[in-house]
Amino acid sequence: MYHPSAETLDRESLSSLQLQRLKATLDHIHARNPEYAQHLGGLTAENVHSLEDIRRFPFMTKEDLRQAYPFKLACAPPDRFVRFQMSSGTTGTPILCPYTASDVRQWADVMARCLTAAGVTRDDVIQVTPSFGLFNGGFGFHYGASAIGAMVVPIGAGRSRLQLRFMQDLGTTVIAAIASYPLRLIEVARAEGFDFRRDTRLRVGIFGAEVWSDEMRRRIEEIMGIESFDIIGMTETGGVGLGIDCPAHEGIHIWEDHYLVEIVDPSTGDPLPDGEAGELVITTLTREALPLIRYRTRDITRVLSRAPCACGRTHLRVDRLTGRTDDMLKVKGVTFYPAQIEAILMGHERVAFDYQIVVERVAGADRLRLVVESKAPEDDDLARRVAEEVHDTLGLTPQVELVPVGTVERRPGKAVRVVDRRAEEV
């Protein structure tokens, strides 16, 4: 463990620390930003007597942060800012998240915990493939690896052939990436005759920023010869490092001394009991420049356990993210997440990695079409079996189009899995 005393706090001590830090955060907001304090509806630390009292406070959303551009909700003066990041995926008005020196230290600490939980040590060489621009990923991994003392290869996004060369020549043992990027690397490696097991010393992959299925995970691990770890986080809450799964792979630990977790009904906002899936809501407990109270992340998960883990850590575990509230699709009255389709596709050996879920409106009715890259695009039986499995799982019968590998457009950044064309009737 990177910080054993913090990562193994008993539940009573952890809850007490959270309550203390929640009150301090509320006092900080009221002292530093009257406009932010007004958003809290007049509630202060004096209204908080237990962690359950957080439910009395209003939610904060991405739209609130957009309207606060650039730093209207900041709780530190600009001369104390040492950097900022911008939320990825934002269109229109950007969401800027400032950091003080204290915030950067907090980020480095939680990232160092995450990397250590994945088995990274100062003897490792970690290749950081997320970008080092406004997206927070590259810097988060850099700060965490530097705190541990590991060797950093700060290559950033793209340049896949150079990525492979550096892996081989520099002895890379750990790769950090958005979850779909290993698929690009595997594709280029096959074209170059490059074998990860033969040509590299890779042993760990730390992937996040996208929802990725267990089936996809198994494929990546098998081909690259690694153990993978699912890391979560977002710029708004301080960057990547909110949590990670440990070697037990029985849920993602969220660092509760820094974050207070709620799971709520996405429609009503009502709290949900442990074990029931809903929207993840985060309150930051140690952020200085931009603390967040009840931030709706839009990510769907559930609390798996608050009991100590086999790894020795005591912080609660949530399930791997299954989707986002804004990713949910509704076709012919059936709601589902893209990851459910991916899980079916990746269960077939002859299906390649890339696919798109296309939703269209034909003659006034919804049509679900799956464009799936396959090593055997002429295999009608495979297409039929995929359609049957989707029907068995979702109650929808898609049109399955198997296409040669390389057909689906490769775009920079996160993979585009859903194309909704219902606004343009076919």
- The rounded mean pLDDT for the chain is 94
CA distance 182 to 205: 9
Q: What is the 3-state secondary structure (H, E, C) of 41-52?
A: CCCCHHHCCCHH
Q: pLDDT truncated to tens, each residue of the chain (426 aa)?
A: 999 999 999 999 999 999 999 999 999 999 999 999 999 998 999 999 999 999 999 999 999 999 999 999 999 999 999 999 998 554 578 899 999 999 999 999 999 999 999 999 999 999 999 999 998 999 999 999 999 999 999 999 999 999 999 999 999 999 999 999 999 999 999 999 999 999 999 999 999 998 888 999 999 999 999 999 999 999 999 999 999 999 999 999 999 999 999 999 999 999 999 999 999 999 999 999 999 999 999 999 999 999 999 999 999 999 999 888 888 888 888 888 888 999 899 889 889 889 999 999 887 788 999 999 998 888 889 999 999 999 999 999 999 999 999 898 887 777 888 888 887 765
How much is the pLDDT for 91? Answer: 56
Q: What is the pLDDT of residue 87?
A: 84
State the pLDDT at residue 390: 93
The Cα–Cα gap between 307 and 315 comes to 8
Q: The whole model's pTM is what?
A: 0.89
CB 292 within 8 A of CB 237: yes
Read out DSSP for 162-174? HHHHHHHHTT--E
Structure tokens at 328: 């949910």
Give dist(CA 115, CA 253) in Å, integer. 12
State residue 15's pLDDT score: 97
Q: What's the confidence (pLDDT) of residue 90?
A: 44
Length in residues, the chain: 426
In the chain, where are the structural domains located?
Answer: 1-325, 329-420
Topology, domain 329-420? GMP Synthetase; Chain A, domain 3 (3.30.300)
Q: Do 417 and 338 meet the contact criterion of CB atoms below 8 Å apart?
A: yes
Nearest to 57 by CA among 74, 71, 43, 76: 43
Structure confidence at residue 200 (pLDDT): 98
Residues 6+ apart with CB under 8 A from 177: 129, 130, 185, 205, 206, 207
User: Residue 320 is which amino acid?
Assistant: R
**Assigned architecture for domain 1-325:** 3-Layer(aba) Sandwich (3.40)
Q: What is the pLDDT of residue 69?
A: 93
pLDDT at 89: 52
